[in-house]
Structure 1
């Protein structure tokens, strides 16, 4: 089926039976949509597009940001708890913190693809809140752990519950936004992860000062209060998540029509033909999915190592636990600011690679400084600010694959596979930052630098392959274009974002 026929079929399936069509330049009645062919051709006024995006951003972005913020907070607070005395109180074995950090990603990786593939079937408004509520209970229970084995069990359960959140949120946003609008929206999630570092450090600072209150240690207050807060957020999210734009009560009738127009225009990208085993096998043979997953694996070694162990690294510079928690806030704030500016530029000019590489080189310089371990504490602290540029690289790379995979089912498989491979990096990160290596952590910083440079090299290969495919399609003759029967991102009229 050609891309044009697929677009018309998708449009026909998503609107009411056609009625007499007004001119495409006229504003159609909200209750009287255009017929399928005119729906594809209808041009939405720029002012209405901006208003629609503001409505979507106001109702989708805050929910996704809060959910990912609390998820990152709950998985990374083990570093704060360790500095706050949990390792000593529960008699962690040597390198026990590294094992507890890594074990989370074992179940996280295993359950990520199934959770993503089931999102539409189980419905986002049910599946996402249920996962949040359950992992909140797990976090709360971790606050009453009496031994190291209980902590390990909680980390395994937390990995299962959080497994589907991030890929589900990314996939969820592709159902509402156009591919050229996704970089900034995915940016919101990674900004949330940076904010979690800011909030996590400040919250941990306060909780550590509650040590001894009602007989609980500061790290216990950290887990119990954050767990209770997560449960409340999970319950609240069930009332604000719409499964699709058709069920979004916050859209006006006119905006529902505009969403159908947008869906028709991007039908090749957004269409969902249901689960077909033959299609699934064909999707699974696309090598770009696995190349992207390998790049993300290398990047995630650095991101998870940085986010989990930053407070431990700063503490190793000679600061007290309280000051170390507080000093993580400006580092994460810088990472969030860089990401926000970069994402705006990325969406405006529709570029990914040209932002990933410069920011990636800055990150590499930061790790090189940490590996060299200069005597100056100020220089080492400055290096952590340079490393914080990694967030925009990871976020844009995740967005990059999502934009270049057409068709809902292929995109769900691609995102799930990419993130599953990427999160193996979390297992590695927990093993390279070893407690006996403090305060230098030369193994952790050196391995992170090596993985990061490898990621930049293979990201360049990604860019080269997608660019080569675009050039080949641009050079197709009219006869070749007419004879092309490929669909989705392999169709002659599909162009990859670079």
Structure 2
């Protein structure tokens, strides 16, 4: 592969050319970024998962009976979250360049956490439905985190970081069950509030605090820090950050309407959308209905909350292990296929057996597959699409498709106690995700081989590829020096 340093155009196709001193600065830079960005976004994902999924815990705690909500209305409340999500997802991906990251992320956390607190005051189904759709609107703007982190980290660093902060979502799922158990046992009826009301209040207040921290502490992308001055980073560190950014991005890149059309001409947008359909369907069913179908294992409400911790604990370990391994080996596709395979086996187990212990094992397999898929797919998409707007449109489109299927998740788990219909539908889309991952891996391998052959031909003839001196913003991932991460 031809390697060259960017002057006015082009991009650095390999590692940034850093001096010995700059490499020392890079270590300090990455450490600080990990503490600030990974640390804060981990808390953000934790409280978002709490507030997104606590309606499932609240249902077990008596929300549905106290507010006289029918099963159909409850399913509508779950699905309306995703309606708001779908409407805003593409603008949310593009807006990170218009709004400073700390304002967009911190602001949306404060808003959705406040709405969670408001759920405690709901008196009927209509109030719950309205709050859930507003919660979806606010939560959407967190999706820009995928693009935001790609401006701070290199391509072989993204999965580990994404896995680290998304593992907070699995912790949230486990702790949500533990918190729900503690609240139901100790606060039910305290100060005239039911246990489910205390759940919304406590988790909502925690979210507001995290949102304020994100607003105050998260740094903007390195090429948007005014005058190269930031309280956490020195000027020299920020210069290294911009050099790192140029290994995959063009400094200052923003919205480009030409790239929107280019995204839809690329088969990857459709393959990523098919994969995300399976991921989002599985994730949504877990978030909203895990306590409900664990309750069908003939456990009491309090034991249901405790047992819901086990699948999340398994997912936490798998998520960190798989994402770390994928970055260390610089391989994504095979790990993604492995995760889909785990979910497929898990759904087959839930449909085929009646033993409670085996069903819990099957549930663990599903969470061990679905949660790592979220971060692997986001990282795999982000690092294999050149051009800021094209990347935003590709992931945004995949998220729109995925959240449409998340809406479907709220209407397929309607046949207790075994939920065969819901498990069968999820199983079929996990299989579609596996096949799409395989197809995308084969397609990108073919493109890499084609570029390698072209590079060898130009080297033999002493010519230069006509696109070599253009940037990713101009020719996207079609750039001859761009290689797809398989």
Name whichever of 299-308 and 152-161 sits farther off.
299-308
| Structure 1: unaligned runs, 5 residues or longer | 13-35
Residues 1:123 and 2:100 aligned together: yes
Of 188, 193, 205, the residue aligned with 2:181 is 205
Please give the per-residue CA displacement for 1:82-123, whole angstroms capped at 9, x wherever unaligned: 000001111112333222111110111111111221121121
Please give the per-residue CA displacement for 1:169-198, whole angstroms capped at 9, x wherever unaligned: 111111100111101111123211101101
Contact residue 171 and residue 415 of structure 1 kept, 8 A: no
**Equivalent pairs, count:** 465
Structure 1 position 240, deviation (Å): 0.2
Of 238, 245, 256, the residue aligned with 1:256 is 238
Partner of 2:324: 344
State the alpha-carbon separation in 1 of the partners of residues 105 and 99 from structure 2. 9
Q: TM-score, normalized by length of structure 1?
A: 0.88
The secondary structure found in structure 2 opposite 1:122 is coil
Residues 1:464 and 2:452 aligned together: no
Partner of 1:438: 416
Partner of 1:18: none
4+ long deviations beyond 6 Å: none
Q: TM-score, normalized by length of structure 2?
A: 0.91
State the alpha-carbon separation in 2 of the partners of residues 270 and 339 from structure 1. 31
| Pairing of 1:22-101 with structure 2 (within 5 A) | 41-43=17-19, 48-101=25-78
Partner of 1:8: 7
How has the CA–CA distance of structure 1 residues 341 and 410 changed in structure 2, closer, same or farther, with 3 Å as cutoff?
Answer: same
Residues 1:381 and 2:360 aligned together: yes
State the alpha-carbon separation in 2 of the partners of residues 306 and 241 from structure 1. 30
State the alpha-carbon separation in 2 of the partners of residues 338 and 309 from structure 1. 21
Please give the per-residue CA displacement for 1:279-311, whole angstroms capped at 9, x wherever unaligned: 433334323122212210122111111222111
Please give the per-residue CA displacement for 1:324-375, whole angstroms capped at 9, x wherever unaligned: 1111112101101011011111001100112122232222111101011x23
State the alpha-carbon separation in 2 of the partners of residues 381 and 252 from structure 1. 50
Structure 1 position 261, deviation (Å): 2.6
The secondary structure found in structure 2 opposite 1:333 is helix
| Structure 2: unaligned runs, 5 residues or longer | none
State the alpha-carbon separation in 2 of the partners of residues 41 and 394 from structure 1. 32
Please give the per-residue CA displacement for 1:203-256, whole angstroms capped at 9, x wherever unaligned: 111121211111111001111222222222212221101112245421234322
How has the CA–CA distance of structure 1 residues 11 and 60 changed in structure 2, closer, same or farther, with 3 Å as cutoff?
Answer: farther
The secondary structure found in structure 2 opposite 1:318 is coil
Partner of 1:448: 426
Contact residue 314 and residue 364 of structure 2 kept, 8 A: yes
State the alpha-carbon separation in 2 of the partners of residues 481 and 496 from structure 1. 21
Residues 1:483 and 2:459 aligned together: no
Of 138, 141, 149, the residue aligned with 2:126 is 149
Contact residue 299 and residue 425 of structure 1 kept, 8 A: no
Contact residue 186 and residue 399 of structure 1 kept, 8 A: yes
Name whichever of 143-152 and 304-313 sits farther off.
304-313
